[in-house]
Structure 1
């Protein structure tokens, strides 16, 4: 709740003034000391007491505990437990005080909703398990919506829900009803997908449920659907699964139509985050030991290189890094390098991204250029030199990079030096302002 009064500026030492100045009045209203949180010194909105008997505003004391502190901020005593007991009497007093001082611009603090407890989450998980086992789709949907509503109320609720194993229950429910029939239970499956996007980590059992063939097929089905919300949720869940357990990539590579679904999302973007998540999945699939080359070739044949280059033209930092990672993997393949060289935008964009986006983007750009030039394509070497790659690579050596990248840069400079007499133009925009004076 934002109060309408105007506060005085902090005095010496940064201490807050305890007086409230009413609008259009010279009088001041002092907030009672016991109405203020000992941590924030603000009027408490949701007073709760610790085991030490000291009362704090819930938001402030939760931040204190979440930071790893195990003592009471005021008494310095070690806390016997971390239970936060609502101080209803004090809250009512604060509310009455707000009403009595309405003329000072003070707004009444609404009665806070009681946060969800670990016990309540555990109880909901038990009910979800039973409803899933009985195939009760209606009850399952109601429980999922209840969990989502609680999570929306506060970040604290969401953390409590996630930390008490809701993800595993949602994954079990998703696999079960996907196995029954995705068409029949589409609304329930949409609700589960939506909740799963913020329920990670799922734990070993939860990931096992979601990386099953049934679950992966269902998510791919959603990715190929016309429902944009469910499509992006499926992408987010897959990306988080990969971060938690990369072994799910092997199962994902077996799903028919997964490459087409990912390609279409890159081609027809939903939102930047979905595109970025999609590129992460594509990149990881291309790096698979057994099927990586086959998957890469499929994406090349579908025409992913022009899409990647379009992303590099206007993409933000995160998307550019992921797009360059995909292009770098593509250039591991002979057909990929040939297709990249055939596109007139490839070399100009790669040279441009060196030292322009981030260290990660520079590393990928150098790796791509190195792979293209080592393909013994003289035209690529000449074009890169003409675009100022030689000067940029010198700067990279000066500002520092990893040993592997340094080896690639050194090799590129040796090759480019042979073609410098064919230089048609010099990238004067770089100059030598980034160069460090050698000792």
Structure 2
């Protein structure tokens, strides 16, 4: 029997998106933003109908912009909440992925140091961002290296199979994006391989 959503999205729930955008940009309202984001996520997870309703009104863009605002304000305590909601809106459209890519440093931090679920959501968000055409054209080499390193750490750690698969797909998209980025991916892979070989030789 199909699940009957207990909390269908209503027209009034569109106010949630304004609440997310406004509170994320307002100083001292990070807690309110987290609450609104959690509400969006809960509704989207409740039914496919709800999820499609949110996707149709570009909720991915709103959440990506909220993540950008919260990251710029240094609100690390609530940052994991936004990728958790963004996952429900995937695949993201081009604009949402572009905005998300501008906060790549914060996504990398969560991917490296977040909770287990937080790391998975961050890696999924990174995959969406790097899958966009031209995503890394404007990124400096050191920023590209940060993203690659975070993905390689996840692949090498083998903590979660889903994390590993998503990180591998994201790394593939990185290597396929353009020649400069592909060269950085190969370089970081070589460094990781050499470092690991040296450790085993020393042991």
- The TM-score, its normalising length taken from structure 1, stands at 0.40
- The 1-side partners of 2:90 and 2:97 are apart by 9
Deviation at 1:171, TM superposition (A): 0.6
- The 1-side partners of 2:48 and 2:141 are apart by 35
**1:129–1:169 contact (8 Å) kept in structure 2:** yes
Which SS does the other structure have where 1:290 is aligned? helix
Matches within 5 A, 1:381-420: none
CA deviation vs aligned residue, 1:269-289 (integer Å, no higher than 9, x gap): 232222121112222322321
Deviation at 1:163, TM superposition (A): 1.8
1:271 to 152, 160, 173: 160
Deviation at 1:127, TM superposition (A): 1.9
Aligned: 1:237 with 2:130: no
Which of the pair has more CA radius of gyration?
A: 1
For residue 135 of structure 2, what is the aligned residue in structure 1? 248
Aligned: 1:129 with 2:21: yes
Gap change, CA 1:116 and 1:294, over 3 Å in 2: closer
Aligned: 1:293 with 2:183: yes
**2:41–2:88 contact (8 Å) kept in structure 1:** no
Gap change, CA 1:146 and 1:254, over 3 Å in 2: same
- The 1-side partners of 2:157 and 2:89 are apart by 27
Gap change, CA 1:172 and 1:264, over 3 Å in 2: same
Deviation at 1:300, TM superposition (A): 2.0
2:115 to 213, 220, 227: 227
Gap change, CA 1:114 and 1:177, over 3 Å in 2: closer
2:98 to 189, 193, 208: 208
Deviation at 1:254, TM superposition (A): 4.3
Number of aligned positions between the proteins: 191
Which SS does the other structure have where 1:267 is aligned? helix
**2:97–2:128 contact (8 Å) kept in structure 1:** no
**1:252–1:258 contact (8 Å) kept in structure 2:** no
CA deviation vs aligned residue, 1:150-173 (integer Å, no higher than 9, x gap): 122212111212222111111111
Task: For structure 1, list consecutive stretches of 5 or more residues without a partner in the other structure.
Answer: 3-44, 47-111, 307-439
CA deviation vs aligned residue, 1:343-363 (integer Å, no higher than 9, x gap): xxxxxxxxxxxxxxxxxxxxx
- The 2-side partners of 1:278 and 1:164 are apart by 29
CA deviation vs aligned residue, 1:194-224 (integer Å, no higher than 9, x gap): 1111213443432232111xx1000111122
Task: For structure 2, list consecutive stretches of 5 or more residues without a partner in the other structure.
Answer: 197-203
* Larger RCO of the pair (alpha carbons < 8 Å, separation 6+): 2
| Greater Cα offset, 161-170 or 291-300 | 291-300
- The 1-side partners of 2:25 and 2:46 are apart by 29
For residue 199 of structure 2, what is the aligned residue in structure 1? none
Which structure: greater helix fraction?
2
Gap change, CA 1:131 and 1:226, over 3 Å in 2: closer
**1:150–1:158 contact (8 Å) kept in structure 2:** yes
Aligned: 1:280 with 2:163: no
- The TM-score, its normalising length taken from structure 2, stands at 0.82
CA deviation vs aligned residue, 1:45-101 (integer Å, no higher than 9, x gap): 97xxxxxxxxxxxxxxxxxxxxxxxxxxxxxxxxxxxxxxxxxxxxxxxxxxxxxxx
